[in-house]
């Protein structure tokens, strides 16, 4: 039995939890600039037709009285970690798939906790107790059905698709609901007269495959109630990154360098939260014409300190010929090793000492920021010169 757990209006619910004055109100989380998009909306705002990824100006038009709240990614990640941790109390078979959703295989836990419905209820209670937030859970014998089920009675939903109801459910399941069917595929399927999975099952398979390729195979399998994708437990992220779209495209290297420092700090904080060091540091740039480039460097010695991440990103940036204005800039880190893993003895111990001093500084800054809120303490070069005073790190968009 597979459970799919998905938090309700996650970012907006966290804001309403932390700021009681926002409860019961229309909330849009996202950047309020002309180029901002809605990352999520409270259920109150969704009644006005506001959706994730909608341009903020469009959302404001549909719901003029909505309160726009900038996102606080660090806070959402903390809550997300609490949720993923408590899920592990139920089973080790937890597969987090995004910041607010996870699959659980409870086939084993069945005997310990009782039938799926009871397990799901206990999880919902525990999530509410621990975080103060509601989630929706879907349960089914197939992974894709669990995912679809979690969405059926949102918010605060619980939907179980029992084995005996499975084939009837699949038969009438609209293809639009299937994960991976976007607007393009949906249009193709509609043109072929395929509205639900029952239609798909009755359609000549070779024709479907010739039109949809690999995804055609998948749809046919699903229509026959065959979804072999297992729940694969993993907790460690494979990479972390931080990036932002600029309020205005620029070629000013000092502005961009300052942003790199901000992103290096964010990446460093994420690495420390995961308790890992990274061997690969990358720089990402998207130009005004949306052309995107990534440059990366693999290091002999893995890094975690903001300063060292920044230096690598800055080297990559210096080596990059800037011929066009930049629209987006970011820093990434990958190839992790556990931060506690023993490191090879360094030939130049003084260099090593410097690295570990930077790490101490970062841990202290993290602790201060965790206690008093982000932004209280920051690197001196992040305090921008006057000509850039209108572009403080606090105004970075959340993407
Ligand atoms: P979702 O689970 O897709 O949405 P949600 O939790 O806000 O609402 P629902 O009750 O329908 O599940 O995404 C989880 C969070 O991820 C969401 O709160 C904000 C963020 N997010 C983005 O940043 N960009 C996006 O395009 C989407 C869809 C979500
Ligand atoms: Mg959600």
Q: What is the pLDDT of residues 316-363, one digit of tens each?
A: 999 999 999 999 999 999 988 877 644 444 455 555 566 677 777 777
Sheet-wide strand order for 27-30: 38-41, 27-30, 67-69
3 with 116: CB under 8 angstroms?
A: yes
- Report residue 267 as tokens: 């990446």
Ligand 1: centre distance to CA 40 (Å) = 5
Asked whether the bond before 41 is cis by omega within 30 degrees of 0, the reply is no
**Other CB atoms closer than 10 Å to residue 163's CB: what's the count?**
11
**What ligand is nearest to the CA atom of residue 8?**
1
Which pLDDT does position 346 carry in this prediction?
Answer: 45
Give the closest ligand to the alpha carbon of residue 153.
1
Ligand 1: which residue has its CA nearest to atom 4? 9
Question: Distance from the CA of 7 to the center of ligand 2, in angstroms?
Answer: 4
Tell me, which fold does domain 239-387 have in CATH?
Answer: Dna Ligase; domain 1 (3.30.1490)
Mutate to test the pocket of ligand 1, among 5, 39, 51 (most ligand atoms within 8 A of CB): 39
Q: Which two tokens stand for residue 102?
A: 């996870």
**127 closest CA partner among 145, 148, 153, 100:** 100
In whole angstroms, give the CA distance from residue 278 to residue 241.
11
Distance CA 235, CA 69 (A): 29
Q: Which phi and psi (to 5°) does residue 9 adopt?
A: 40, 55
Report which of 29, 97, 123, 52 is spatially closest to residue 136, judged by C-alpha positions: 123
Contact 126, 137 (CB under 8 A): no
Residue 291 tokens read as 């052309």
Instruction: Report the distance separating Cα 264 and Cα 257, nearest Å.
Output: 10
Q: Ligand 1 centre from 353 Cα, in Å?
A: 42
Distance 360 CA to ligand 2 centre (A): 36
Segment (H or E) for 326: strand 326-338
The dihedral of CA 171, 177, 181, 186: what is its sign? positive
Which of 5, 83, 100, 103 to probe ligand 1 with, by most ligand atoms within 8 A of CB?
100
Atom of ligand 1 nearest to the CA of 53: 26
pLDDT along the chain (399 residues), means of 10: 97 98 97 86 98 94 96 92 89 89 86 85 97 98 97 97 96 95 94 97 96 94 93 75 94 95 94 86 93 92 94 96 95 84 48 69 76 64 44 37
- Helix (H) or strand (E) holding 158, with range, is strand 158-160
Of the bound ligands, which one is closest to the alpha carbon of residue 157? Answer: 1
CA of 41 to the centre of ligand 1 (A): 8
Rounded Cα–Cα distance for residues 49 and 26 (Å): 11
Q: Which of 249, 238, 307 is nearest to 276 (CA)?
A: 238
For the CA of 8, the closest atom of ligand 1 is 10
CB 219 within 8 A of CB 196: no
Q: Which fold has domain 10-72?
A: MutS, DNA mismatch repair protein, domain I (3.40.1170)
pLDDT for the residue 109: 64
DSSP, collapsed to helix, strand or coil, labels residue 277 as strand
The Cα 121–Cα 123 span in angstroms is: 5
Ligand 1 neighbours (beta carbon < 6 A): 6-11, 39-40, 52-53, 99-101, 154-155
CATH number of the 166-223 domain: 1.10.150.20
pLDDT at 332: 97
* Angle, CA 310 vertex, CA 309 and CA 314 arms, to 5°: 120
Please, what is the Cα angle at 247 between 393 and 241, to 5 degrees? 55
Q: Where in the chain is the domain with CATH 3.30.1490.100?
A: 239-387
Atom 24 of ligand 1, residue of closest alpha carbon: 39
Residues of the chain with CATH 3.40.1170.60: 10-72
Q: What CA–CA distance (Å, rounded) separates 191 from 183? A: 12
Tell which residue, 396, 382, 378, has the closest CA to residue 254.
382
Total-model pTM: 0.65
Q: Which of 4, 52, 102, 177 to mutate to test the pocket of ligand 1 (most atoms within 8 A of CB)?
A: 52
DSSP secondary structure letters along 223-257: HTT---PPP----S-SEEEEEEEEEEEE--HHHHH
Locate CATH 1.10.150.20 in the chain.
166-223
Q: What is the pLDDT of residue 394?
A: 37
Q: Is 101 annotated in the active site?
A: yes
Task: Give me Rg for the CA atoms of the chain.
Answer: 24
44, 101, 243, 359: which is the annotated catalytic residue?
101
């Amino acid at each position: 039995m597979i459970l799919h757990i998905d938090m309700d209006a996650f970012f907006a619910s966290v804001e309403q939890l932390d700021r009681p004055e926002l409860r019961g109100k229309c909330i849009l989380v996202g950047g309020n600039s002309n180029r901002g998009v809605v990352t999520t909306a409270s259920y109150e705002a969704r009644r006005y037709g506001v959706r994730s990824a909608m341009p903020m100006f469009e959302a404001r038009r549909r719901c003029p009285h909505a309160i726009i709240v900038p996102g606080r990614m660090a806070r959402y990640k903390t809550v997300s970690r609490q949720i993923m941790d408590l899920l592990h109390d139920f089973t080790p078979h937890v597969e987090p798939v995004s910041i607010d959703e996870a699959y659980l295989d409870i086939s084993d836990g069945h005997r310990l906790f009782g039938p799926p419905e009871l397990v799901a209820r206990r999880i919902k209670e525990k999530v509410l107790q621990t975080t103060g937030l509601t989630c929706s859970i879907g349960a089914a014998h197939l992974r894709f059905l669990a995912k679809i089920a979690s969405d059926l009675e949102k918010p605060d939903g619980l939907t179980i698709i029992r084995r005996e109801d499975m084939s009837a459910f699949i038969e009438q399941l609209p293809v639009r609901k299937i994960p991976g069917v976007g607007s393009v595929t949906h249009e193709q399927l509609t043109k072929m007269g395929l509205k639900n999975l029952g239609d798909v099952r009755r359609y000549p398979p070779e024709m479907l495959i010739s039109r949809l390729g690999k995804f055609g195979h998948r749809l046919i399998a699903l229509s026959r109630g065959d979804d072999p994708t297992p729940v694969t437990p993993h907790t460690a992220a494979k990479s972390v990154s931080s990036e932002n779209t600029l309020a205005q495209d620029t070629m000013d290297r000092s502005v961009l360098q300052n942003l790199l420092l901000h992103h290096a700090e964010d990446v460093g904080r994420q690495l420390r939260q995961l308790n890992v060091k990274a061997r690969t540091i990358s720089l990402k740039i998207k130009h005004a014409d949306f052309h995107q480039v990534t440059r990366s460097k693999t290091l002999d010695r893995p890094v975690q300190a903001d300063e060292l991440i920044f230096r690598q990103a800055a080297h990559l940036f210096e080596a990059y010929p800037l011929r066009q204005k930049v629209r987006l800039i970011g820093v990434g880190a990958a190839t992790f090793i556990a931060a506690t893993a023993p490191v090879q003895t360094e030939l130049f111990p003084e260099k090593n000492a410097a690295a570990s001093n930077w790490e101490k500084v970062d841990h202290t800054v993290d602790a201060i920021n965790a206690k008093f809120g982000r932004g209280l303490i920051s690197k001196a070069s992040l305090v921008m010169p006057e000509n850039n005073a209108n572009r403080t790190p606090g105004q970075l968009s959340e993407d």
